[in-house]
Every structure is written in C-alpha cells, then in structure tokens.
Amino acid sequence: MNLNAVWTIYVFEMRRFFRTITQSLVSPVLSTSLYFVVFGAAIGSRIQEVEGVSYGAFIVPGLIMLSVMTQATSNASFGIYFPKFIGTIYELLSAPISFLEVVMGYVGAAATKALFIGIIILITAFFFVDIQIAHPFAMMAFLVLTCISFSLLGFIIGIWADNFEKLQLIPLLVITPLVFLGGSFYSITMLPPVWQTITLFNPVVYLISGFRWSFFGAADVGIGISLFAIALFTGACMAIIWWIFRTGWRIRQ
Amino acid sequence: MSAIVSVKNLRKSYAGGFEALKSVSLDIEDGEILALLGPNGAGKTTLISTICGITVPTSGSITVGGFDTQTQFRAARSLIGLVPQEINLEPFETVMNSVSFSRGLFGKPRNDAYIEDVLKQLSLHDKKDNKIMTLSGGMKRRVLIAKALSHEPRVLFLDEPTAGVDVELRKDMWEVVAGLKASGVTIILTTHYIEEAEAIADRVGVINKGEILLVQDKADLMAQMGQKQLKIELAEATATIPDMLAGYDLERAGDGMSLTYSYDTKGERTGITTLLNDLQKAGLQMKDIQTQQSSLEDIFVGLVKETS
C-alpha cells in the first residue's frame, strides 16, 4: 500500500478546498441560514410540531443531509474530473499506485470537505433552533457514512463525465430531487399512502430517516433498514468503481 | 550493457480497429540516450504511454528494470519518470507544491532539499512559490521535467520536450539531459527535430506507422547510410555528360553548369582522384568543387518515404 501517495492526493485536494475557503464555507452557511429563516421561522411558525419536534428543529437533519450529499457529490466529481479535463491525470496513471489508493485519496478528501460543511451547518443550526442530539455517536457515524458514500458516487460521476455539463447533470437532475423528495423538510407519514409507498424506493429516505433518528430517537423507517440501505448504496458504488478501474473505463484505454 | 527497458511484440489497437503499434520489439540499454524519430501519428507517444502505464497493451510484454509493467506495475513504474508532450499542469498550484505532489505520488517521503536542487538545475528555483498559471510556456515545460525528476527515476521519457521551445531553452534542456546521463539515468526522447537526435542521442530509432524501422548506433547509422556528394561547378556549361564519364553516374544540373558525384565515405576508394583526372581529359574546366554529407534528416526522410 502506497500510503504516501494516498496522503499526497488527500493533502493536494484539501489545499484546493482551503484555497477557496470563503466560497466553500460561507455559501453553505448562508444558504442554511436562509432555509432556517424561511422554513424554520416564517413558515415553521404556522406548522404544528412534526412527530413531537418543533418544525424548525425537525428540518435540521434534512438540511444537513441536503448539503452534505450535494457537496460530497460535487466535490468528489470535480476532484477527479479536473485532472482529466486539464490532462494531469497522466500522473495518476503512470504513478506506482493502485485504484484503491487513488479512490482513498480523492474520496477521502471529498468526504472530509463534506463533513466540515455538515458540522458547520449543525453549528449554525444551534444559533437558530433549540435541538438536542439523542444519539451523538450514531449521528456522527451516519454523517461520515453519508459523506463517504456520496463522495464515491461523485467519483463515479467525475469519471463518467466528459464535459462540464454532464458533471452538473446528475447532481442537478437526480440528487437534488431525491433529497428534496426524501423527507428533508417533512415526515413521509405526511404523504398520501400511495406516495408513501413510492417514496420507499428513494434511497435518500433511509439516510435522512436514520440521521433524523440519531437526533430525535424517532424515524420514518427502522434504523436497521436505514443502516442496511446506506451499506448497500456504499457497496454498489464501490463495486462500480472497482469495475471502472479494472476495465480502465474512460480513464485508461 | 543490459536492457533496462525491454519491449517484446507489443501491439496496441484501439476500439474502432486503428492499430497504433504493430508488434514492436525494442531493447533500451541501461544508461543510454535513445532518440525516437518519426512523423506525426507514427506511434511514438503510444509507445511511451504504453510503457509508462497510461495505456494498456493489446498484446505483448514490457519490462522495466526486469519488472513486468502489468503484473509488477509498482516496481516498474517507480523507476520511470515521464515528461508528456502536452503541458498538463494544475494552474492554481505553486511550482514547489506541484513538484512535491509528483514525488508523493511515487511513494517517496517529502524531501524539500532534493526538490529545491532539481529546481535549481532547471533554473526554476526563483519561481518555486509562483503559481504555475503565472509562468511562461518554457518555464511550464521545465516544471514538467522537474515533476518527472522529483522521484529520482532511473529511466526518463521525454515526449517531444523541445517542441515549441526557443533555441536557448532547447540548449539548456540538452545540458540537463547530458547531466542526467552522466548521473546514470537512461533517457528516451521522441523528437521532430533531427538535429536534436544528432546532437545528443547515443542511438536512434525510427518509427513509422506503428513499426520500428530501425534502431542503430547514431554514428554507425550515419556512417553506413552516410553518403557524400561532390559538386563540381564548371566554367562553361556542358550540354551532355561526355561518354568517357558515363561510369561515374554523374548528375547534370538543369543549366549544365554543375555535375554532382555521389560516393561512399567508407568505401575502399572514393573515386574522386580518377574522376577529377577524367574530367580534365574530357576537356571540362572546373570552376569550384564542394562536398556535402547527408544528414540524419536525409536518412530519416529516405526511410519514412520507403515505408509509405
């Protein structure tokens, strides 16, 4: 295992994050604050409690997940797409490193960035609403797992994309709707029965539900099912990445 | 000398059927400078990319330092430094960070003193904290070389290192290459500039249409294939070549003012003395004579023409 290479890629990627620190951190904090003002304070004040929790607090886990998923995906996809775009990928391909090490470096960095943003949003939330975290360790575990799994997904998108449009396409057309429809801002029990069933096909539901359980001790779906769903998703992404490197798809002809 | 890079029956075809390399076999000796000459699209870059691991061979085998590039890729690639043809660099990074990144990828611990030495050799040291986007084209090319040298490779591939580079920088690079050779690094360079191969290579390989046409010691090659021409300018034009000179296979210029005689410098007899005597006997008055040696360029053009 070439750990030096993993660390080198990780540090290089993290430096990009810190170079654009204002953009990286200010924008999620600002947009989250706006969500709290609009949904938490303005609209939330007219909504009763959801599952025994004030609406402002109820949306915190969903908001964190929304940002973490989109940030992890876009960071990881950009991270590996950029070297392809500017041609520096030749260095990765000619270095004595395995695909596992490349993935660990890029996905590790993207997941770390997403984790930073998730924690910053959580801290911001404390300024707006009164929240308690029922299972802090489970909360961190869910957060970390989500960061990693969506960074893996982003990595796949970055390898697949051969132009900037495609790079934006999946996050915009797939992830954002899935997250919004996955119960970020509502409990799926609030939906009509037919839609409740349909929603169960949305993998994001399980992630948000599990994450919300770690805050409030209550969830739309069982915690075991949530864990299984995130494990399945992570496993699927890993399998696809393994296949990509084994066949050299879109990177090594 | 033993081969540090050994390529055997290497074939590379792309989806769509294009065959970039057709059963290429090549041994590169430890410590030599090999220049690969070939026109655009000859397969030079494909050959280098396949040895370095950027493309996967369709069939055949490659060893570097005795390690198979497929099954023992870590050991094989650790020995190789690659300077690509295109200037591919992360624009927002500093020179120092970018070069250190390359070293790290090869698994070596950070060593700022060594990297600074490399930068000094390449006259890049005063730019080490500059962002790459602020550098000139020539400077960027030096950064690429610094990156390739960052992990102390034993084999260095330079893919057209001096394309689009001014004369001064080209000379600088030749010096760097000579210095590397002196320190025992094997160097393979592809080039369009034949004078470059003539100036610095120990051996010359010619590749065209995915096939290696020849690999030979540069001096031998030039001696073997090197023909000299003797151009004789005449005081008065001659309408025909006199019969008594028919055996010399002379070429008459269009205006009849000069005759050209080709001869082999390595031959037992060049035939110059008898020719000059016979010219006088035939009554032709000489005004001036000059000789010309065929360059590597002539040899190269001749070879490539034959195959196309």
pLDDT tens digit string along B47-82? 999 999 999 999 999 999 999 999 999 999 999 999
Residue A193: how many other CB atoms lie within 10 Å: 8
pTM of the full structure: 0.84
pLDDT tens for B166-188 read: 787 788 888 889 999 999 999 99
Token look-up 């030495």 returns B117
Sheet holding B33-37, edge to edge: B80-83, B155-159, B186-191, B33-37, B203-208, B211-217
ipTM over 0.90: no
Q: Which of A134-138, B61-65, B198-202 has the lowest mean pLDDT?
A: B198-202
What local confidence, expressed as pLDDT, does residue A40 receive?
A: 75
Report the pLDDT averaged over residues A47-67: 85
Closest CA to B84 of B56, B128, B52: B52
A–B CB contacts, 8 A cutoff, strictly below: 81
Mutate to test the interface with A, among B98, B103, B105 (most CBs of A within 10 A): B105
* Three-class DSSP category at B255: coil
Place B308 in a pLDDT band, splitting at 50, 70 and 90.
low
pLDDT tens for B6-57 read: 999 999 998 888 899 999 999 999 999 999 988 888 899 999 999 999 999 9
What local confidence, expressed as pLDDT, does residue A42 receive?
A: 79
What local confidence, expressed as pLDDT, does residue B266 receive?
A: 67
Q: Please state, in angstroms and rounded to a whole number, the distance separating the CA atoms of residues A241 and B23.
A: 32
For chain A, strand residue ranges (E) read none
What local confidence, expressed as pLDDT, does residue B224 receive?
A: 66
Contact state of B105 with A92 under an 8 Å Cβ cutoff:
yes
**Over pLDDT 90: what percentage of chain B?**
48
Place B130 in a pLDDT band, splitting at 50, 70 and 90.
very high
What local confidence, expressed as pLDDT, does residue B94 receive?
A: 95
Residues of B in contact with A83 (CB under 8 A): 90
Residues of B in contact with A8 (CB under 8 A): 100-101, 103-105
What local confidence, expressed as pLDDT, does residue B1 receive?
A: 52
